Structure 1
Amino acid sequence: MGEGVLRAVPGPGPGRDGEADEPLLRDLVGAALRRARLRQGRTLRDVADQARVSLPYLSEIERGRKEASSEVLAAVCGALGLRLADLVGALHIDLTSRTTVSVTATTTAKWGRPRRGGQANLTLLAA
């Protein structure tokens, strides 16, 4: 195939090293909007009506099946009383809470020499 040909990109799943790939943005956006709606005790119909989008479309967005335009996101955020910055902040938290960092720590004796068997592997969650 020549250059400039579009090819299908595999969906989310295990990466080359067996770890999960980054989540899709539409899944994170949908989950954040659903959390905000449920925290407010509101129905899909109520938010869809106020945002002037169809109920089935908002449902698809919340389930991560549809990619919402910036206009639709602005309307849904407005209906939920959120700023776009609030949504982006929630997405940032969701993404960083999924990141793990592995470190090796060496414990030292009182005088600065490593202790016997003094290495430990730790896995930390980034916040």
Structure 2
Amino acid sequence: MAEIIPLPTKASRPSRQPEPLWREALGDRLRGIRHDRGERLADTAERAGVSPQYLSEIERGLKEPSSEMIAAVAGALEVTLIDLTAAVVDDLRARTAEPAAVGSRAMLSLAA
């Protein structure tokens, strides 16, 4: 007869948190900037040319906004896309306990 080998259970597997989604980190950062400025959702949305409901969904990470929408909201908050993107990347790095999957050498080769 064949030997029965038990499969690993969930308890024996290392627990790994899923990586946060870009849209969630972006939304958190946009909400933080808006709150730091003391602005209401409706005021920022109006300047960005989006509905308050849509901006709320972006801030809660429920919508995957287009680059045009991100630029409009960033402009309404007087933040450059470069600064916003860098801040979101920093937030994602801070949330991720594991080292980046792509090392600096691989990043340089991707850029070439």
Structure 1 and Structure 2 fold alike (TM over 0.5): yes
CA distance in 1, matches of 2:27, 2:98: 26
CA distance in 2, matches of 1:99, 1:23: 8
Kindly indicate which of the two structures has a greater share of residues assigned to strand. 1
TM-score (norm 1): 0.64
Query: 1:78-118 CA deviation, whole Å, 9 max, x = no partner?
Result: 0000000111111111111123369xxxxxxxxxxxxxxxx
Runs of 4+ aligned structure 1 residues displaced above 3 Å come to 99-102
Q: Which residue, out of 73, 78, 91, partners 2:88? A: 91
Q: Name stretches of at least 5 consecutive residues in structure 2 with no aligned partner.
A: 1-12, 100-112
Pair 1:45-2:42 in alignment: yes
CA distance in 1, matches of 2:24, 2:84: 13
Which residue in the other structure is 2:54 paired with?
Answer: 57
Larger Rg: 1
Kindly indicate which of the two structures has a greater share of residues assigned to helix. 2
Q: Name stretches of at least 5 consecutive residues in structure 1 with no aligned partner.
A: 1-15, 103-127
Once structures 1 and 2 are overlaid, which stretch shifts more, 52-61 or 89-98?
89-98
TM-score (norm 2): 0.73
> What is the deviation of 1:32?
0.4
Pair 1:70-2:67 in alignment: yes
Aligned-partner residue type, residue 66 of structure 1: K
Give the alignment's Cα RMSD to 1 decimal.
1.6
The structure, 1 or 2, with the larger RCO (C-alpha pairs under 8 Å, 6+ apart) is 2
Query: 1:9-47 CA deviation, whole Å, 9 max, x = no partner?
Result: xxxxxxx73210210111001000000000000000000
